[in-house]
Amino acid sequence: MRPERLVALRLQLVSHEFWPTWVRYVPIAGVIALESLRSGGLRTVLCANPGIPAAGLVGEHKTDILDHFPPGPHTLPTFRIPPGEPAERLARLRELQREHPELGDDPLVLKPERGYRGFAVRIVRSDDDAIAYFRDVPIPASVQRYHPGPVEVGLLWARHLDQVEREDPERPAGRILDICSKTFPEIVGDGVRTIEDLVWREPRLAVQRRVLLSRVRDAHAVPGKGERVALGEIGNHIQGTKFTDGMRLHTPALAAAVDALARSYRDAEGRGLDIGRFDARAESNADLQAGRFAVLEFNGIAGEPTSMYDPARTPIGCWATLARWVRTAYALGRARRRLGVRPVSWRELYQLKRRDAAERRLGASST
């Protein structure tokens, strides 16, 4: 066994950012139990976000959510592509580009309608790329205008409790709870080592070497000295992106822009949002801080405070961040329940979960 493998294995064991999801959540089970008792049941948290099915825990369509934000500089054109033969889906994609010039030319972003932690998100730059995607991912998908960034962040927003029953237009409806900065994986050539060897030399990259090396045409190529080789463009932890605390980027202008966007959301019945995470891109940190950004997607009650994956944080810090988020979500759920909102039933949750799992299995089995 090469020594680098042992280093990567050790990092995978000791760094909380690589632990399985259930390991991160077990220590806050007591917080969830206590909040459930205070709230009259485990499902009370699902009363939050009345404008999203099941509060955004499972079963939501990404395009449906984005469609309920008014068009503007903070939203990216996004359209559905139903299942079908790959050639038919490609034809529909090109038809959408003709019908909606705002979608833009290639590259485009293709993703499942029901996403999960970056599952099957891909940037396509040609007909061949799109055909390969539709062949690999036969489930309902969406196409989105590509935003090059290079800045990508997760912006976790939560409504103020005194703004649940009635919004005061003269005051912010909510606040930013968490900002997660995302750093895409890359290696820098030395003119001697191969891409694979350079990945092995970075313990964090070595942990995720399989997914990272699967993206390069030739892992045995030798980059020139100082040459940068990008290993990922999707801002998802499971795809190799590094998450760090980005609250240093918080400004009044950013907070105001996020708040205005969150309060602009309305579903067909006029219901809004209470808590969730905007995954967004901007051309620079300065643009982001000035409130100039574009939303890739919005995750409801399942939108974790992703800065908890920051490797500089201790496990205790990670759990504290999670606990604060859980308490906030339950408080909002309780407030909505007092106003007469009812959570989805266990039966509905089970059916939604089964449907999501079936689609992911179908997509995964084809990749």
Tell me: the pLDDT tens digits for 153-180?
Answer: 999 999 999 999 999 999 999 999 999 9
* pLDDT tens profile 114-168: 866 667 899 999 999 999 999 999 999 999 999 999 999 999 999 999 999 999 9
In sequence order, the 6+-apart residues with CB closer than 8 A to the CB of 250 are 176, 179
CATH number, span 77-146: 3.30.1490.20
SS3 of 261-329: HHHHCCCCCCCCCCEEEEEEEECCHHHHHCCCCEEEEEECCCCCCHHHHCCCCCHHHHHHHHHHHHHHH
**Which residues of the chain, if any, have pLDDT below 50?**
365-367
Would you state the pLDDT for residue 366? 45
Tally of CB atoms within 10 A around 316: 10
Alpha helices by DSSP H, the chain: 3-14, 21-25, 29-39, 62-67, 86-99, 127-136, 195-201, 203-207, 209-213, 252-264, 285-289, 315-338, 346-366
Domain with CATH 3.30.1490.20 in the chain: 77-146
In sequence order, the 6+-apart residues with CB closer than 8 A to the CB of 167 are 173, 263
Would you state the pLDDT for residue 350? 93
CA distances (Å), origin 311, targets 11, 35, 92 = 10, 28, 42
Would you state the pLDDT for residue 356? 83
Q: What is d(CA 126, CA 344) in angstroms, rounded to the nearest whole number?
A: 42
Would you state the pLDDT for residue 33? 98
Q: What is the pTM of this model?
A: 0.94
Would you state the pLDDT for residue 367? 47
